[in-house]
Structure 1
Amino acid sequence: MEKALAYAGTHFDDFVAQLQDLLRIPSISTDPDYRDEVRRAAGWLADHLETIGMAHTEVLDTAGHPVVYAEHVVDPARPTVLVYGHYDVQPPDPLALWTSPPFEPVIRDGVIYARGACDDKGQLFMHLKAAEAYLATGEGPPVNLKFLLEGEEESGSEHLPGFIEAHHERLAADIVLISDTDLFGPGIPSITYGLRGLAYLEVTLTGPNRDLHSGMYGGAVENPINALCRLIAGLHDADHRVTIPGFYDNVVPLTEEERATFRALPFDEQAWAKEVGLPATKTEKGYSVLEAISARPTLDVNGIWGGYTGKGAKTVLPAQAHAKISMRLVPDQRPEEIAEKARAYFEANCPPTMKLSFRYLHGGPGVLVDTHSPAMQAAARALKEVFGRDPFFIRSGGSIPVVSVFKKRLGLDSVLMGFGLTSDAIHSPNEHFGLDRFRQGIESIIRFQTHYARTR
């Protein structure tokens, strides 16, 4: 480990320059015009994995964008770590808000700015550099390494579950290691052990067969927008709890240990609210902000539309009203089951003057990982050595669908050891990644591999 750490320190400037080369490739998976660039990024990574000495590397086609796979088996008796990351990025729009071109990475005050700098090229590249640091010593990594780098995460990972199913034997491992999450705050090490799931749906109410003149029909025709607003307003009670019957049936209460961990986190609720321009917060009664945004289920309307919204006035009584609704779920809540309960709510409360259209668009289950497992404890030890303090085990309010796919298809838990910050502007103009965290990530991964190897 010491030789690998020394190598990483000596070659850090080279690592940064190589990352800049990767960031220059506009691998935007959601835009068909960039299909060739996504493939170019896959080829670049495959070439780089071969260059650093991985024993086997290949680019594997899917019905969408390719997957980069690599492996280096040092000893079948040692534990195997499957590293997951994604090399595709979000579109950079709006371009006018970038202070420098999104695919011409620049470094200012120790921070690298470019699309993908944090999400996820910068973070996945830490794993390549940690592997290189061990391979360059001539002894090889202390664990068997496998890399699964996809090019469709930002467009829904549509083909990844099928790929994992088709290649489950070669992807066999003991743990999945992912760096696509955040530290709790600057200099505050943390490991994510819980992710919320998701159920996403669209609801449409249809009244008359066309938009009507509100003066000629208003008063005798029920307005679909009015009706939909009433249905949506009824989705929460005065305590901000979701009113859908059975919504909380499978929700496991937080343990006192978990709630104590939330209370111990260095969180400033007032500063958090001020940063997003809120005069006050609103949570489910009895739960703190941190608990509410990461460990309790939610329901939110993401968009609502219908009728006339253009300039000036148009006194129309709309034929339809639409809403998109997302429900963040906790482990043991099944997305399809929750979606059906939501459907039942809307069907039971739809007025007889309306027709209801309900579509379940997509979703995925939440995940909890045992914080006492050997891999999680190895990660905790690695972070403590790098940051000089014990890491927090935290739950995230977001969803990483591939984590549940790994659990379902391969039976593997994931260690979510990310080094981003919520302030890194991922998916936004001026995305960035601190080079101090790039360095800390490489060192933490090097240390994790050694500590995890010692668990067997």
Structure 2
Amino acid sequence: MKSCLFLLLLFTQIAVFAQSPLTEQVRKYRQTNEHTFLSEFMGLLSIPNVVYDTVGIQKTAAYIVKMMEARGIKTELLEAKTKGVPPAVHGEVKVPGATRTVIFYAHYDGQPVNPNQWAEGIEPFKSVFLDASLEKGGKIIPVPKATEPINPEWRIYGRSASDDKAGVFAILSAYQVLKKLNIQPSVNIKFFFEGEEEAGSTHLAEILEKHADKLRSDLWIICDGPVHQSGRKQVVFGVRGDVNMEVKVYASKRPLHSGHYGNWAPNPAMMLVKLLASMKNDEGRVLIKGFYDDVVPFTETEKQAIARVPSVDEQMQNELGFARPDGGGKSLVELINLPSLNINGIASANVGKMAANVIPTSATVALDLRLVLGNDVQRQVQKVIDHIKEQGYYVTRNESITDEERMKYPLIARVQVGKGYNAQRTKMDLPIAQDVIKAIQSTVKEEIVLMPSLGGSLPLFLFEKYLKTPTITVPIANHDNNQHAENENIRIQNIWNGIETYVALMKM
């Protein structure tokens, strides 16, 4: 009952929405310095930052250090215990009289790119302006001159434009604006920019454990992901966990002529699709035994927040072009708060002009498991493995299959499991969480969205495990930003909104 009253009282307090005088000050300063802001941002985007490119990662980190030093921020690189790991770029600003410390997190590494998949005239690390999104017929335009106005609906295309260099830039720009306006933050500020997030934050735990004393705080603000599909700002109190699995099934030792051996030799591609079909029903519900059993139910506060989230299902169906969603009638916001099993890719022989009349030797699928609070990575993986066994498969983790195994077992599956992590969720009724909500609501006239959990994943449970500190995610990117894919982009107004958001959080 207490949590219900909290949310009702909160929304009563913010029933009349108005932008704060601080937001107006920030906006006026930004409007007179937009070209300078974007010039620095374009410089950051020009540095290749693919997570596995050591040289590019080092250059990106060095550029961010220069940005921070130019703002007078005391900066250092936090190394992991393992050598050769991308460091976290750390900075600190101590504020006289401040009683709380807030750490702002973003990551500076990016996903791999295939330049051939990007639109003509757009290169991943030669960012360009477009007058609209590609989906809406956007065209490349020249970089605006210092005397030319900048349309906030324009897009900047380039790898990490939204995920997550926009986050790094907006956080640092927010502090820069406060400094230029001679406005003192109300909290001690620490900056933490990770360089290995797109590889699963494999060594983040090492960095947090090794530098725990330097990373003490009252709250982590996570800048990653998109705003709500309605365009409204959102505050997110949790993320799903994630783990990847690869399943490979085997048949004959060499490719076979489909005419000579079809109907007789087993086809691994057919075997695999039948196996995958056994994992889900026609409505997309996972049929694996116990898949949903561990889920921790929402509190009344969280249920009320979900009930207030604007529906975007019809909007997104029209935008994405499909007639019927999965989920058996459940909404998007309901479904992203359940564990999921997704096929990331399937491979077996060739298609198109490279297709041949063969029965392949194997077929492979990459599976992505998203976890919610209550799920455990190892338990969830084991449920999938047990299901494969129940379908009659002999399961191994060995790289190669022996002749003895081939002759003994008619169905063979090799399973490989990546390093995963569990979900995390912060209580919405914490006093500091209420302060975050009020600060962000002060920057806009429309009601912000409060989301118990984001559909995407970050290893935020590590901050609770090693630092005993809550996290709240405050994303800024446009929902149609193509993160992780070709033609990644950021809407310029989202950058401006992000700066206003983080200024408000530095003054909460």
Q: TM-score range by the shorter chain?
A: 0.7 to 0.9
- Cα deviation per residue 1:209-245 (whole Å; 9 max; x = unaligned)? 3333445544454333332222211112355322222
8 A contact 1:98–1:429 mirrored in 2: no
Q: Distance in 2 between matches of 1:197 and 1:6?
A: 39
How far residue 359 of structure 1 moved from its aligned partner, in angstroms, is 1.1
Stretch of structure 1 that moved more, 368-377 or 414-423:
368-377
How far residue 47 of structure 1 moved from its aligned partner, in angstroms, is 2.0
Residue 77 of structure 2 aligns to which amino acid in structure 1?
A: V
How many pairs align?
Answer: 444
Residue 347 of structure 1 aligns to which amino acid in structure 2?
A: K
Q: Distance in 2 between matches of 1:112 and 1:231?
A: 43
Instruction: Name the residue aligned to 1:40.
Output: 59
Instruction: Name the residue aligned to 1:454.
Output: none
Instruction: Name the residue aligned to 2:251.
Output: 207
Instruction: Name the residue aligned to 2:233.
Output: 189
Distance 1:358 1:93, change over 3 A: closer
- Cα deviation per residue 1:396-422 (whole Å; 9 max; x = unaligned)? 211122x22222222222111111111
8 A contact 1:105–1:112 mirrored in 2: no
Instruction: Name the residue aligned to 1:397.
Output: 455
Give the aligned CA root-mean-square deviation in angstroms.
2.8
Q: Distance in 1 between matches of 2:438 and 2:362?
A: 56
Distance 1:217 1:44, change over 3 A: closer
Residue 197 of structure 2 aligns to which amino acid in structure 1?
A: E
Please give the TM-score of this superposition, normalised by the length of structure 2: 0.79
Stretch of structure 1 that moved more, 103-112 or 235-244:
103-112
Question: Could you say what secondary structure the match of 2:105 adopts?
Answer: strand
How far residue 70 of structure 1 moved from its aligned partner, in angstroms, is 0.9
How far residue 137 of structure 1 moved from its aligned partner, in angstroms, is 5.5
2:122 corresponds to 1:89:
no
8 A contact 1:69–1:146 mirrored in 2: yes
How far residue 313 of structure 1 moved from its aligned partner, in angstroms, is 6.4
Q: Distance in 2 between matches of 1:82 and 1:76?
A: 17
Stretch of structure 1 that moved more, 142-151 or 2-11:
2-11
Question: Could you say what secondary structure the match of 2:286 adopts?
Answer: coil
Q: Distance in 2 between matches of 1:184 and 1:250?
A: 27
**Which of 263, 272, 277 does residue 321 from structure 2 map onto?**
277
Instruction: Name the residue aligned to 1:17.
Output: 39
How far residue 91 of structure 1 moved from its aligned partner, in angstroms, is 4.4
Which consecutive unaligned segments of at least 5 residues does structure 2 have?
Answer: 1-19, 132-150, 394-408
Instruction: Name the residue aligned to 2:377.
Output: 335
Alignment of 1:49-64 (within 5 A): 49-54=68-73, 56-62=74-80, 63-64=84-85
Q: Distance in 2 between matches of 1:179 and 1:244?
A: 34
Instruction: Name the residue aligned to 1:372.
Output: 429
8 A contact 1:5–1:446 mirrored in 2: no
**Which of 407, 419, 423 does residue 476 from structure 2 map onto?**
419
Distance 1:353 1:187, change over 3 A: closer
Q: Distance in 2 between matches of 1:338 and 1:153?
A: 22
Distance 1:143 1:298, change over 3 A: same
8 A contact 1:8–1:129 mirrored in 2: no
Residue 60 of structure 2 aligns to which amino acid in structure 1?
A: A
Residue 334 of structure 2 aligns to which amino acid in structure 1?
A: E
How far residue 65 of structure 1 moved from its aligned partner, in angstroms, is 2.5
Stretch of structure 1 that moved more, 433-442 or 360-369:
433-442
8 A contact 1:29–1:88 mirrored in 2: yes
**Which of 173, 185, 195 does residue 151 from structure 1 map onto?**
195
Please give the TM-score of this superposition, normalised by the length of structure 1: 0.87
Which consecutive unaligned segments of at least 5 residues does structure 1 have?
Answer: 452-456
How far residue 347 of structure 1 moved from its aligned partner, in angstroms, is 1.8
How far residue 435 of structure 1 moved from its aligned partner, in angstroms, is 3.1
8 A contact 2:105–2:221 mirrored in 1: yes
Q: Distance in 2 between matches of 1:89 and 1:61?
A: 19
Instruction: Name the residue aligned to 1:288.
Output: 331
Q: Distance in 2 between matches of 1:249 and 1:400?
A: 22
Distance 1:236 1:432, change over 3 A: closer
Distance 1:36 1:185, change over 3 A: same
Distance 1:36 1:306, change over 3 A: closer
Stretch of structure 1 that moved more, 438-447 or 309-318:
309-318
Identity %: 28
Question: Could you say what secondary structure the match of 2:419 adopts?
Answer: strand
Residue 336 of structure 1 aligns to which amino acid in structure 2?
A: Q
Distance 1:341 1:99, change over 3 A: same
2:489 corresponds to 1:447:
no
Q: Distance in 2 between matches of 1:291 and 1:249?
A: 16
